[in-house]
Amino acid sequence: VAMFSKHIHAVSKKGLSVKLLLFTIAYNLKVLDEVNSIK
């Protein structure tokens, strides 16, 4: 949760979807990195 910004400034619905998609990808990459570093 700390990774995500408190305000998302998106002008269009498409821009909002892109930002949410990028946040999701970044979060998943972080989790995968943490899982791989544990092994």
Read off the pLDDT of each residue in 13-19 and give the average, rounded to a whole number: 91
Q: From CA 19, how far away is CA 11, in angstroms rounded?
A: 11
Query: Average model confidence (pLDDT) for the chain?
Result: 84
Q: From CA 26, how far away is CA 22, in angstroms rounded?
A: 6
Res. 29 pLDDT band, cuts 50 70 90: very high
The domains of the chain are located at 4-38
C-alpha pair distances (Å), 4 with each of 15, 22, 23, 29, 32: 16, 11, 7, 14, 17
pTM: 0.68
Q: What pLDDT shows up at residue 7?
A: 72
